[in-house]
Amino acid sequence: MANQLLKGKRGVIFGALDGNSIATKIAERCIEEGASIVLTNAPVALRMGEIQKIGERLGAQVIAADATSVEDLENLFDQSMEILGGKLDFVLHSIGMSLNVRKKRAYADVKYDWMQKTFDISAISFHKVMQVLYKKDAMTDWGSIVALTYIASQRVFPDYGEMAESKSLLESFARSFGYHFGKKNHVRVNTISQSPTMTTAGSGIKGFQEFFDYADKMSPLGNASAESCADYTIFMFSELSRMITMQNLYHDGGFSNMGMAPEVLA
Ligand SMILES: NC(=O)c1ccc[n+]([C@@H]2O[C@H](COP(=O)([O-])OP(=O)(O)OC[C@H]3O[C@@H](n4cnc5c(N)ncnc54)[C@H](O)[C@@H]3O)[C@@H](O)[C@H]2O)c1
């Protein structure tokens, strides 16, 4: 299904951890569509090894960067522009991790230093990525920045814990920075709100399989897969979506507009 929609474009992809990561599917499609990319992840993720294999398979260099460290991000974008031979046309933020959820702390009993770390990793990192790109003037005119989010930012999903507020903050950063980047050089900033997806981050949520099945029944098209999320992200990176910015875009088979589905009661 390759149409060379990203021919000659350069991009940086955060968050490919293993073969299931949504970022890995997006990276694969970027290559199919003719882009050159750099893959990046936290140093600890690089030590786990799979990302190096993904990089080799895709012919992409892998650079370690903790997305909460401005210094790491500065180094990442300097190196990426050197490797890829110019400014960046697209950047994907596909990062999420909650310490309280991971350590099974109830929502009404969170540890606040963990909550702050969660916000830093899952949301403030997006502002940091954009601020570094902005100050370095590292994005081409009409470039595209996308972050992945989830509908728990807008509606209550109790087991999502403090990730709900992380995603609200992330979506708000997309709107606010979308203004500044749009005025600066027409760079677009959007979030894609994806269906539940079987990945390391996804399956960390309590009762994920049951929830996945529920969402699948609630959505008239069924849950959107990681592969279809990759297709949508390619569209968002391409010039076909050039007037879309500051949006939270649902990619969820219709789930977000449902009230009740008889299939769930059956
Ligand atoms: N899986 C789902 O059900 C689902 C649904 C909607 C949105 N999302 C979002 O999609 C994105 C990708 O998640 P995924 O489901 O592919 O899972 P994943 O676990 O494969 O990806 C999460 C990534 O975040 C990276 N990360 C964590 N801390 C980091 C740090 N300090 N610096 C840099 N990277 C760091 C991890 O190494 C990992 O690669 C996340 O934002 C997630 O919230 C997932």
CATH number at residue 55: 3.40.50.720
User: Two tokens at 31?
Assistant: 């290559």
Q: Is residue 2 part of a domain?
A: no
Q: Is residue 4 part of a domain?
A: no
Report percent pLDDT > 90 for the chain.
94
Beta bridge mates, 249: 192
Give the C-alpha separation, 145 to 31, whole Å.
17
Which DSSP helix (H) or strand (E) runs through 176? helix 163-185
Q: Is residue 117 part of a domain?
A: yes
pTM comes to 0.98
Q: Is residue 224 part of a domain?
A: yes
pLDDT tens digits for range 10-51 = 999 999 999 999 999 999 999 999 999 999 999 999 998 799
Q: Is residue 105 part of a domain?
A: yes
* Ligand 1 pocket residues where CB is under 6 Å: 14-15, 17, 21-23, 41-42, 45, 66-68, 94-97, 121, 148-150, 194, 196-197, 199-202
Least confident stretch, 59-63, 84-88, 89-93, 196-200: 196-200
Which atom of ligand 1 lies at the shortest distance from residue 121's CA? Answer: 31
pLDDT tens digits for range 160-195 = 999 999 999 999 999 999 999 999 999 999 999 999
Which atom of ligand 1 lies at the shortest distance from residue 149's CA? Answer: 7
146 CA from centroid of ligand 1 (Å):
13
Q: Is residue 5 part of a domain?
A: no
Domain boundaries, position 68: 10-265
Q: How many helical (H) and strand (E) elements, i.e. helices and strands, does the chain have?
A: 11, 7
Which atom of ligand 1 lies at the shortest distance from residue 22's CA? Answer: 16
Q: Is residue 38 part of a domain?
A: yes
Q: Are 250 and 193 in contact (CB under 8 A)?
A: yes
Give the C-alpha separation, 11 to 30, whole Å.
9
Q: Is residue 3 part of a domain?
A: no
Beta strand 10-14 with 36-41: parallel, antiparallel or unpaired? parallel
Longest dimension (CA), the chain: 57
Structural domains counted in the chain: 1
